[in-house]
Structure 1
Amino acid sequence: MIDPDTADAPLASDLTPLAAIRARIARSAAIAQRKAEDVTLVAVSKTHPAEAILPLIAEGQRVFGENRVQEADAKWPALQEAHPDVRLHLIGQLQSNKAQEAVRRFDCIHSLDRPSLLTALARAMDRVGRQVPLLVQVNIGAEEQKGGCAVADLPALLGEARAAALPVIGLMCVPPAGIEAAPFFALLAKLADDHGLSARSMGMSDDFETAVMLGATHVRVGSALFGARG
Protein backbone atom coordinates (compact mmCIF):
# COMPACT_ATOMS: atom_id res chain seq x y z
CA MET A 1 0.00 0.00 0.00
CA ILE A 2 1.23 3.49 -0.86
CA ASP A 3 1.59 5.79 2.12
CA PRO A 4 -0.49 8.88 1.30
CA ASP A 5 1.92 11.06 3.25
CA THR A 6 4.81 10.14 0.95
CA ALA A 7 3.07 9.40 -2.32
CA ASP A 8 3.90 12.83 -3.74
CA ALA A 9 7.41 13.00 -2.28
CA PRO A 10 10.17 13.19 -4.91
CA LEU A 11 12.23 10.08 -5.42
CA ALA A 12 15.87 10.36 -4.35
CA SER A 13 16.85 9.87 -8.01
CA ASP A 14 14.79 12.95 -8.92
CA LEU A 15 16.78 15.22 -6.60
CA THR A 16 19.95 17.12 -7.31
CA PRO A 17 22.89 16.15 -5.07
CA LEU A 18 22.38 19.32 -3.02
CA ALA A 19 18.66 18.73 -2.58
CA ALA A 20 19.32 15.10 -1.62
CA ILE A 21 21.86 16.12 1.03
CA ARG A 22 19.49 18.73 2.43
CA ALA A 23 16.71 16.14 2.60
CA ARG A 24 18.96 13.71 4.46
CA ILE A 25 19.96 16.44 6.92
CA ALA A 26 16.31 17.29 7.50
CA ARG A 27 15.39 13.64 8.05
CA SER A 28 18.24 13.09 10.52
CA ALA A 29 17.38 16.29 12.37
CA ALA A 30 13.75 15.22 12.66
CA ILE A 31 14.77 11.87 14.15
CA ALA A 32 16.79 13.74 16.78
CA GLN A 33 13.94 16.20 17.37
CA ARG A 34 16.03 19.04 16.04
CA LYS A 35 15.35 21.72 13.44
CA ALA A 36 17.04 21.24 10.09
CA GLU A 37 17.76 24.96 9.92
CA ASP A 38 19.98 24.60 12.99
CA VAL A 39 22.45 22.61 10.88
CA THR A 40 24.71 24.53 8.49
CA LEU A 41 25.75 22.60 5.40
CA VAL A 42 29.33 23.53 4.50
CA ALA A 43 29.85 22.52 0.87
CA VAL A 44 33.50 21.48 0.69
CA SER A 45 34.68 22.97 -2.58
CA LYS A 46 38.41 22.35 -2.14
CA THR A 47 40.12 21.35 -5.40
CA HIS A 48 36.93 22.01 -7.39
CA PRO A 49 36.89 24.83 -9.96
CA ALA A 50 34.47 27.73 -10.15
CA GLU A 51 32.41 26.03 -12.86
CA ALA A 52 31.62 23.21 -10.44
CA ILE A 53 30.69 25.65 -7.67
CA LEU A 54 28.39 27.92 -9.66
CA PRO A 55 25.53 25.39 -10.01
CA LEU A 56 25.39 25.00 -6.21
CA ILE A 57 25.31 28.77 -5.75
CA ALA A 58 22.51 28.96 -8.31
CA GLU A 59 20.61 26.33 -6.32
CA GLY A 60 20.89 28.40 -3.15
CA GLN A 61 23.96 27.05 -1.34
CA ARG A 62 25.73 29.90 0.42
CA VAL A 63 28.36 28.34 2.74
CA PHE A 64 31.48 26.74 1.28
CA GLY A 65 34.58 25.19 2.80
CA GLU A 66 38.17 25.38 1.61
CA ASN A 67 41.31 23.72 2.97
CA ARG A 68 43.95 26.19 1.89
CA VAL A 69 44.24 29.96 2.00
CA GLN A 70 46.11 30.08 -1.32
CA GLU A 71 43.44 28.15 -3.19
CA ALA A 72 40.67 30.29 -1.75
CA ASP A 73 42.51 33.49 -2.68
CA ALA A 74 42.88 32.28 -6.25
CA LYS A 75 39.33 31.01 -6.73
CA TRP A 76 36.88 32.98 -4.64
CA PRO A 77 37.32 36.76 -5.21
CA ALA A 78 35.40 36.74 -8.50
CA LEU A 79 32.78 34.35 -7.16
CA GLN A 80 32.18 36.47 -4.07
CA GLU A 81 32.09 39.67 -6.09
CA ALA A 82 29.23 38.17 -8.10
CA HIS A 83 27.61 36.57 -5.02
CA PRO A 84 28.47 38.75 -1.99
CA ASP A 85 26.24 36.74 0.35
CA VAL A 86 28.41 33.62 0.00
CA ARG A 87 30.36 32.75 3.15
CA LEU A 88 33.69 30.90 3.26
CA HIS A 89 34.84 28.57 6.03
CA LEU A 90 38.44 27.41 6.42
CA ILE A 91 38.30 23.74 7.34
CA GLY A 92 41.92 22.70 6.77
CA GLN A 93 45.08 23.10 8.83
CA LEU A 94 46.29 26.67 9.07
CA GLN A 95 49.91 27.76 9.25
CA SER A 96 50.56 30.61 11.65
CA ASN A 97 52.20 32.67 8.90
CA LYS A 98 48.94 32.53 6.92
CA ALA A 99 46.79 33.78 9.79
CA GLN A 100 46.37 37.32 8.48
CA GLU A 101 45.38 36.14 4.99
CA ALA A 102 42.92 33.71 6.56
CA VAL A 103 41.32 36.43 8.68
CA ARG A 104 40.88 38.60 5.59
CA ARG A 105 39.45 35.83 3.38
CA PHE A 106 37.34 33.58 5.62
CA ASP A 107 34.15 34.10 7.59
CA CYS A 108 34.81 31.21 9.99
CA ILE A 109 37.93 29.18 10.83
CA HIS A 110 37.48 25.59 12.02
CA SER A 111 41.12 24.72 12.70
CA LEU A 112 42.47 26.54 15.76
CA ASP A 113 44.56 23.83 17.42
CA ARG A 114 47.61 25.27 19.20
CA PRO A 115 48.80 28.27 21.22
CA SER A 116 51.10 29.62 18.49
CA LEU A 117 48.21 29.78 16.03
CA LEU A 118 46.04 31.39 18.70
CA THR A 119 48.61 34.15 19.11
CA ALA A 120 48.91 34.62 15.35
CA LEU A 121 45.13 34.85 14.91
CA ALA A 122 44.76 37.34 17.75
CA ARG A 123 47.40 39.59 16.16
CA ALA A 124 45.84 39.17 12.72
CA MET A 125 42.37 40.12 13.92
CA ASP A 126 43.79 43.23 15.58
CA ARG A 127 45.66 44.25 12.43
CA VAL A 128 42.82 43.54 10.03
CA GLY A 129 40.15 44.91 12.36
CA ARG A 130 37.92 41.89 11.84
CA GLN A 131 36.68 39.32 14.34
CA VAL A 132 36.31 35.91 12.71
CA PRO A 133 34.47 33.13 14.58
CA LEU A 134 36.77 30.23 15.49
CA LEU A 135 36.33 26.56 16.25
CA VAL A 136 38.98 24.54 18.03
CA GLN A 137 39.91 21.40 16.13
CA VAL A 138 40.13 18.49 18.58
CA ASN A 139 42.20 15.40 17.80
CA ILE A 140 39.28 13.32 18.97
CA GLY A 141 40.87 9.95 18.20
CA ALA A 142 44.33 10.79 19.56
CA GLU A 143 45.88 10.03 16.15
CA GLU A 144 49.55 10.95 15.89
CA GLN A 145 49.35 11.73 12.17
CA LYS A 146 46.38 14.06 12.50
CA GLY A 147 46.21 17.72 13.48
CA GLY A 148 44.12 19.04 16.29
CA CYS A 149 44.36 19.85 19.97
CA ALA A 150 44.61 16.86 22.32
CA VAL A 151 41.53 16.40 24.49
CA ALA A 152 43.66 16.85 27.60
CA ASP A 153 45.00 20.17 26.29
CA LEU A 154 41.61 21.60 25.36
CA PRO A 155 40.83 23.42 28.65
CA ALA A 156 44.15 25.28 28.59
CA LEU A 157 43.79 26.30 24.93
CA LEU A 158 40.24 27.54 25.51
CA GLY A 159 41.43 29.45 28.55
CA GLU A 160 44.11 31.18 26.48
CA ALA A 161 41.58 32.00 23.76
CA ARG A 162 39.19 33.54 26.26
CA ALA A 163 41.99 35.53 27.87
CA ALA A 164 42.85 36.89 24.42
CA ALA A 165 39.17 37.71 23.78
CA LEU A 166 39.12 35.52 20.69
CA PRO A 167 35.64 34.60 19.40
CA VAL A 168 35.75 30.82 19.90
CA ILE A 169 32.25 29.50 19.22
CA GLY A 170 32.73 25.73 19.18
CA LEU A 171 34.71 22.59 18.42
CA MET A 172 35.54 20.62 15.28
CA CYS A 173 36.71 17.04 14.76
CA VAL A 174 37.57 14.46 12.13
CA PRO A 175 37.07 10.97 13.63
CA PRO A 176 39.44 8.10 12.79
CA ALA A 177 38.73 6.53 9.42
CA GLY A 178 37.31 3.04 9.11
CA ILE A 179 35.56 2.76 12.46
CA GLU A 180 32.21 3.87 13.83
CA ALA A 181 32.15 7.65 14.16
CA ALA A 182 29.25 7.96 16.62
CA PRO A 183 31.29 7.67 19.86
CA PHE A 184 33.66 10.38 18.67
CA PHE A 185 30.80 12.69 17.74
CA ALA A 186 29.20 12.08 21.12
CA LEU A 187 32.49 12.91 22.85
CA LEU A 188 32.91 16.14 20.90
CA ALA A 189 29.34 17.16 21.77
CA LYS A 190 30.02 16.47 25.45
CA LEU A 191 33.24 18.48 25.37
CA ALA A 192 31.40 21.38 23.73
CA ASP A 193 28.70 21.22 26.38
CA ASP A 194 31.24 21.02 29.19
CA HIS A 195 32.92 24.20 27.96
CA GLY A 196 29.75 26.14 27.15
CA LEU A 197 30.31 26.11 23.38
CA SER A 198 27.37 25.93 21.00
CA ALA A 199 28.96 25.04 17.65
CA ARG A 200 29.99 21.48 16.74
CA SER A 201 31.57 21.01 13.30
CA MET A 202 31.47 17.26 12.73
CA GLY A 203 30.36 14.89 10.02
CA MET A 204 31.40 14.52 6.38
CA SER A 205 29.97 12.79 3.31
CA ASP A 206 30.02 9.29 4.83
CA ASP A 207 28.73 10.08 8.30
CA PHE A 208 26.98 13.46 8.41
CA GLU A 209 23.59 11.92 9.22
CA THR A 210 25.00 10.36 12.37
CA ALA A 211 26.64 13.67 13.24
CA VAL A 212 23.36 15.55 12.86
CA MET A 213 21.61 13.10 15.17
CA LEU A 214 24.38 13.64 17.75
CA GLY A 215 24.25 17.43 17.70
CA ALA A 216 26.30 18.72 14.76
CA THR A 217 25.70 22.36 13.96
CA HIS A 218 27.97 22.27 10.89
CA VAL A 219 28.48 19.32 8.54
CA ARG A 220 31.27 19.41 5.96
CA VAL A 221 30.16 17.62 2.80
CA GLY A 222 32.32 17.44 -0.32
CA SER A 223 32.30 14.25 -2.39
CA ALA A 224 28.56 13.65 -1.95
CA LEU A 225 27.99 17.06 -3.56
CA PHE A 226 30.81 17.38 -6.06
CA GLY A 227 31.88 13.82 -6.76
CA ALA A 228 35.53 12.80 -6.70
CA ARG A 229 38.10 15.51 -6.05
CA GLY A 230 39.59 17.28 -9.01
Structure 2
Amino acid sequence: MTDASDRLASVRAGLDRACRDAGRAETPLLVAISKTFDADAIRPLIAAGQRHFGENRVQEAQGKWPELLAETPEITLHLVGQLQSNKAADAVALFDVIHSVDRPSLVAALAKAQAAVGKRPVCYLQVNIGDEAQKGGCALADLPALLDQARTAGLNIVGLMCVPPADVEPAPYFALLAEHAKRLGLAGLSMGMSSDYETAALLGSTVVRVGSALFGSRA
Protein backbone atom coordinates (compact mmCIF):
# COMPACT_ATOMS: atom_id res chain seq x y z
CA MET A 1 0.00 0.00 0.00
CA THR A 2 2.77 2.45 0.95
CA ASP A 3 4.72 1.65 -2.22
CA ALA A 4 1.64 2.18 -4.38
CA SER A 5 0.82 5.43 -2.59
CA ASP A 6 4.40 6.68 -3.00
CA ARG A 7 4.50 5.89 -6.71
CA LEU A 8 1.13 7.51 -7.27
CA ALA A 9 2.19 10.62 -5.33
CA SER A 10 5.43 10.83 -7.31
CA VAL A 11 3.69 10.71 -10.68
CA ARG A 12 1.08 13.23 -9.61
CA ALA A 13 3.82 15.53 -8.32
CA GLY A 14 5.60 15.30 -11.68
CA LEU A 15 2.40 16.24 -13.49
CA ASP A 16 1.79 19.15 -11.13
CA ARG A 17 5.35 20.39 -11.64
CA ALA A 18 5.09 20.22 -15.43
CA CYS A 19 1.78 22.08 -15.41
CA ARG A 20 3.20 24.81 -13.18
CA ASP A 21 6.14 25.19 -15.56
CA ALA A 22 3.74 25.42 -18.52
CA GLY A 23 1.40 27.84 -16.75
CA ARG A 24 -1.46 25.36 -17.00
CA ALA A 25 -4.34 25.53 -14.55
CA GLU A 26 -5.53 21.95 -15.03
CA THR A 27 -3.47 18.79 -14.56
CA PRO A 28 -3.91 15.96 -17.10
CA LEU A 29 -6.05 13.01 -16.13
CA LEU A 30 -3.83 10.14 -14.97
CA VAL A 31 -4.73 6.70 -16.35
CA ALA A 32 -2.87 3.81 -14.71
CA ILE A 33 -2.04 1.23 -17.37
CA SER A 34 -2.55 -2.13 -15.69
CA LYS A 35 -1.94 -4.44 -18.66
CA THR A 36 -0.24 -7.74 -17.64
CA PHE A 37 -0.83 -7.00 -13.93
CA ASP A 38 -3.37 -9.08 -12.03
CA ALA A 39 -6.09 -7.93 -9.68
CA ASP A 40 -3.89 -8.25 -6.60
CA ALA A 41 -1.34 -5.88 -8.13
CA ILE A 42 -4.06 -3.38 -9.04
CA ARG A 43 -5.87 -3.26 -5.69
CA PRO A 44 -3.14 -1.27 -3.85
CA LEU A 45 -3.42 1.56 -6.39
CA ILE A 46 -7.20 1.53 -6.02
CA ALA A 47 -6.75 1.71 -2.25
CA ALA A 48 -4.36 4.66 -2.75
CA GLY A 49 -7.13 6.55 -4.56
CA GLN A 50 -6.51 5.89 -8.26
CA ARG A 51 -9.77 5.60 -10.19
CA HIS A 52 -8.83 5.56 -13.90
CA PHE A 53 -7.21 2.41 -15.30
CA GLY A 54 -6.23 1.32 -18.81
CA GLU A 55 -5.86 -2.02 -20.54
CA ASN A 56 -4.46 -3.05 -23.93
CA ARG A 57 -6.54 -6.14 -24.64
CA VAL A 58 -10.26 -6.75 -24.27
CA GLN A 59 -9.86 -10.43 -23.35
CA GLU A 60 -7.33 -9.73 -20.59
CA ALA A 61 -9.55 -7.01 -19.14
CA GLN A 62 -12.56 -9.33 -19.15
CA GLY A 63 -10.61 -11.74 -16.97
CA LYS A 64 -9.90 -9.37 -14.10
CA TRP A 65 -12.00 -6.21 -14.20
CA PRO A 66 -15.55 -7.46 -13.53
CA GLU A 67 -14.46 -8.50 -10.02
CA LEU A 68 -12.55 -5.25 -9.42
CA LEU A 69 -15.42 -3.12 -10.71
CA ALA A 70 -17.83 -4.95 -8.41
CA GLU A 71 -15.58 -3.98 -5.50
CA THR A 72 -15.09 -0.36 -6.64
CA PRO A 73 -17.87 0.63 -9.09
CA GLU A 74 -16.68 4.22 -9.53
CA ILE A 75 -13.60 3.15 -11.52
CA THR A 76 -13.40 4.39 -15.11
CA LEU A 77 -11.90 1.82 -17.49
CA HIS A 78 -9.94 2.86 -20.60
CA LEU A 79 -9.01 0.72 -23.61
CA VAL A 80 -5.67 2.00 -24.91
CA GLY A 81 -4.55 -0.86 -27.17
CA GLN A 82 -5.47 -1.78 -30.72
CA LEU A 83 -9.04 -2.99 -31.08
CA GLN A 84 -10.16 -5.65 -33.54
CA SER A 85 -13.53 -4.93 -35.10
CA ASN A 86 -14.90 -8.30 -33.98
CA LYS A 87 -14.21 -7.29 -30.35
CA ALA A 88 -16.08 -3.99 -30.63
CA ALA A 89 -19.21 -5.14 -28.79
CA ASP A 90 -17.17 -6.57 -25.92
CA ALA A 91 -15.14 -3.35 -25.74
CA VAL A 92 -18.22 -1.12 -25.65
CA ALA A 93 -19.78 -3.28 -22.93
CA LEU A 94 -16.74 -3.18 -20.63
CA PHE A 95 -14.88 0.08 -21.29
CA ASP A 96 -15.90 3.67 -20.62
CA VAL A 97 -13.23 5.23 -22.85
CA ILE A 98 -11.67 3.89 -26.07
CA HIS A 99 -8.41 5.55 -27.16
CA SER A 100 -7.68 3.56 -30.32
CA VAL A 101 -10.28 4.37 -32.99
CA ASP A 102 -8.16 4.37 -36.15
CA ARG A 103 -10.03 3.16 -39.23
CA PRO A 104 -13.45 3.27 -40.93
CA SER A 105 -14.19 -0.44 -40.36
CA LEU A 106 -13.72 0.01 -36.62
CA VAL A 107 -15.93 3.11 -36.64
CA ALA A 108 -18.69 1.05 -38.23
CA ALA A 109 -18.23 -1.82 -35.76
CA LEU A 110 -18.30 0.53 -32.77
CA ALA A 111 -21.41 2.29 -34.03
CA LYS A 112 -23.17 -1.06 -34.42
CA ALA A 113 -21.98 -2.13 -30.95
CA GLN A 114 -23.20 1.10 -29.35
CA ALA A 115 -26.68 0.52 -30.74
CA ALA A 116 -26.71 -3.12 -29.58
CA VAL A 117 -25.25 -2.55 -26.11
CA GLY A 118 -27.00 0.75 -25.41
CA LYS A 119 -23.82 2.51 -24.31
CA ARG A 120 -21.75 5.31 -25.88
CA PRO A 121 -18.12 5.36 -24.69
CA VAL A 122 -15.91 8.41 -24.93
CA CYS A 123 -13.55 7.90 -27.90
CA TYR A 124 -10.22 9.19 -29.19
CA LEU A 125 -8.89 8.87 -32.72
CA GLN A 126 -5.47 7.20 -32.64
CA VAL A 127 -2.94 8.87 -34.93
CA ASN A 128 0.15 7.16 -36.35
CA ILE A 129 2.11 10.29 -35.51
CA GLY A 130 5.50 8.93 -36.61
CA ASP A 131 4.19 7.25 -39.78
CA GLU A 132 5.50 3.87 -38.60
CA ALA A 133 4.50 0.84 -40.64
CA GLN A 134 4.34 -1.48 -37.61
CA LYS A 135 2.04 0.74 -35.57
CA GLY A 136 -1.70 1.20 -35.61
CA GLY A 137 -3.26 4.59 -35.99
CA CYS A 138 -4.72 6.80 -38.68
CA ALA A 139 -2.41 8.69 -41.03
CA LEU A 140 -2.42 12.44 -40.44
CA ALA A 141 -3.73 13.06 -43.96
CA ASP A 142 -6.73 10.81 -43.30
CA LEU A 143 -7.73 12.37 -39.98
CA PRO A 144 -10.41 14.83 -41.18
CA ALA A 145 -12.23 12.14 -43.15
CA LEU A 146 -12.09 9.65 -40.27
CA LEU A 147 -13.38 12.28 -37.84
CA ASP A 148 -16.31 13.04 -40.16
CA GLN A 149 -17.11 9.33 -40.50
CA ALA A 150 -16.95 8.80 -36.73
CA ARG A 151 -19.19 11.76 -35.97
CA THR A 152 -21.68 10.75 -38.65
CA ALA A 153 -21.78 7.25 -37.15
CA GLY A 154 -22.58 8.69 -33.71
CA LEU A 155 -19.26 8.08 -31.96
CA ASN A 156 -18.42 10.46 -29.12
CA ILE A 157 -15.02 11.66 -30.36
CA VAL A 158 -13.38 14.01 -27.87
CA GLY A 159 -9.74 14.10 -28.97
CA LEU A 160 -6.65 12.50 -30.49
CA MET A 161 -4.23 9.87 -29.14
CA CYS A 162 -0.69 9.01 -30.17
CA VAL A 163 2.36 6.93 -29.25
CA PRO A 164 5.53 8.63 -30.55
CA PRO A 165 8.37 6.57 -32.05
CA ALA A 166 10.56 4.90 -29.43
CA ASP A 167 13.98 6.24 -28.45
CA VAL A 168 13.55 9.69 -29.96
CA GLU A 169 12.62 13.04 -28.46
CA PRO A 170 8.80 12.94 -28.13
CA ALA A 171 8.17 16.68 -27.85
CA PRO A 172 7.88 17.40 -31.59
CA TYR A 173 5.36 14.59 -31.97
CA PHE A 174 3.29 15.81 -29.04
CA ALA A 175 3.33 19.35 -30.46
CA LEU A 176 2.25 18.03 -33.87
CA LEU A 177 -0.66 16.11 -32.38
CA ALA A 178 -1.75 19.20 -30.44
CA GLU A 179 -1.62 21.26 -33.62
CA HIS A 180 -3.87 18.83 -35.49
CA ALA A 181 -6.30 18.55 -32.59
CA LYS A 182 -6.65 22.32 -32.48
CA ARG A 183 -7.19 22.45 -36.24
CA LEU A 184 -9.98 19.88 -35.93
CA GLY A 185 -11.59 21.57 -32.92
CA LEU A 186 -10.84 18.69 -30.55
CA ALA A 187 -9.91 19.50 -26.96
CA GLY A 188 -8.68 16.07 -25.84
CA LEU A 189 -5.05 14.95 -26.16
CA SER A 190 -4.23 11.43 -24.95
CA MET A 191 -0.44 11.47 -24.99
CA GLY A 192 2.40 10.71 -22.61
CA MET A 193 3.52 7.49 -20.91
CA SER A 194 5.89 6.58 -18.07
CA SER A 195 9.00 7.85 -19.87
CA ASP A 196 7.58 11.13 -21.14
CA TYR A 197 4.40 12.10 -19.27
CA GLU A 198 5.93 15.32 -17.92
CA THR A 199 6.89 16.41 -21.45
CA ALA A 200 3.37 15.59 -22.61
CA ALA A 201 1.90 17.65 -19.78
CA LEU A 202 4.11 20.60 -20.75
CA LEU A 203 2.74 20.37 -24.30
CA GLY A 204 -0.95 20.26 -23.48
CA SER A 205 -1.82 16.63 -22.84
CA THR A 206 -5.21 16.17 -21.18
CA VAL A 207 -4.73 12.43 -20.49
CA VAL A 208 -1.50 10.59 -19.67
CA ARG A 209 -1.24 6.80 -19.77
CA VAL A 210 1.27 5.67 -17.15
CA GLY A 211 2.13 2.03 -16.44
CA SER A 212 5.59 1.09 -15.18
CA ALA A 213 6.04 4.28 -13.14
CA LEU A 214 3.01 3.17 -11.09
CA PHE A 215 3.25 -0.63 -11.19
CA GLY A 216 6.97 -1.29 -11.66
CA SER A 217 8.61 -3.20 -14.48
CA ARG A 218 6.59 -5.77 -16.38
CA ALA A 219 7.77 -9.36 -16.62
TM-score range, shorter chain: over 0.9
Please, which runs of 5 or more residues in structure 1 have no aligned partner?
1-12
TM-score where L is the length of structure 1: 0.92
Aligned runs of 1:80-99 on 2, under 5 Å? 80-99=69-88
Corresponding residue pairs, total:
216
Question: Is 1:40 the counterpart of 2:25 in the alignment?
Answer: no
C-alpha separation in 2, matches of 1:166 and 1:98 = 16
Residue of structure 2 equivalent to 1:29: 19
Residue of structure 1 equivalent to 2:166: 177
Question: Is 1:206 the counterpart of 2:195 in the alignment?
Answer: yes
Question: Contact conserved, 1:26 with 1:35, CA < 8 A, in 2?
Answer: no
Which stretches of structure 1, 4 residues or more, deviate above 4 A after TM superposition? none
Question: Is 1:161 the counterpart of 2:150 in the alignment?
Answer: yes
Aligned runs of 1:64-79 on 2, under 5 Å? 64-79=53-68
Question: Is 1:19 the counterpart of 2:20 in the alignment?
Answer: no
Larger Rg: 1
Per-residue deviation, 1:165: 2.1
Identity of aligned residues (%): 60
The one-letter code of the counterpart of 2:78 is H
Matched residue SS, 1:172: strand
Question: Contact conserved, 1:99 with 1:124, CA < 8 A, in 2?
Answer: yes
Residue of structure 2 equivalent to 1:7: none
C-alpha separation in 2, matches of 1:205 and 1:166 = 29
Matched residue SS, 1:74: helix
Matched residue SS, 2:195: coil
Residues 1-57 of structure 1, C-alpha deviations (whole Å, 9 max, x = no match): xxxxxxxxxxxx9x7111000000011011111134x41100000000111111100
Question: Contact conserved, 1:90 with 1:111, CA < 8 A, in 2?
Answer: yes
Per-residue deviation, 1:123: 0.3
Matched residue SS, 2:192: coil
Question: Is 1:223 the counterpart of 2:212 in the alignment?
Answer: yes
Query: Which of 126, 149, 157 is 1:137 aligned to?
Result: 126
The one-letter code of the counterpart of 1:224 is A
The one-letter code of the counterpart of 1:61 is Q
C-alpha separation in 1, matches of 2:96 and 2:88 = 13
C-alpha separation in 2, matches of 1:165 and 1:116 = 14
Please, which runs of 5 or more residues in structure 2 have no aligned partner?
none
Matched residue SS, 2:105: helix
Residue of structure 1 equivalent to 2:102: 113
Per-residue deviation, 1:163: 1.4
Question: Contact conserved, 1:205 with 1:222, CA < 8 A, in 2?
Answer: yes
Question: Is 1:61 the counterpart of 2:67 in the alignment?
Answer: no
The one-letter code of the counterpart of 1:52 is A
TM-score where L is the length of structure 2: 0.97
C-alpha separation in 1, matches of 2:107 and 2:79 = 15
Matched residue SS, 2:205: coil
Please, what is the CA RMSD of the aligned residues?
Answer: 1.1
C-alpha separation in 1, matches of 2:25 and 2:92 = 30
Matched residue SS, 2:16: helix
Question: Is 1:197 the counterpart of 2:195 in the alignment?
Answer: no
Per-residue deviation, 1:179: 0.6
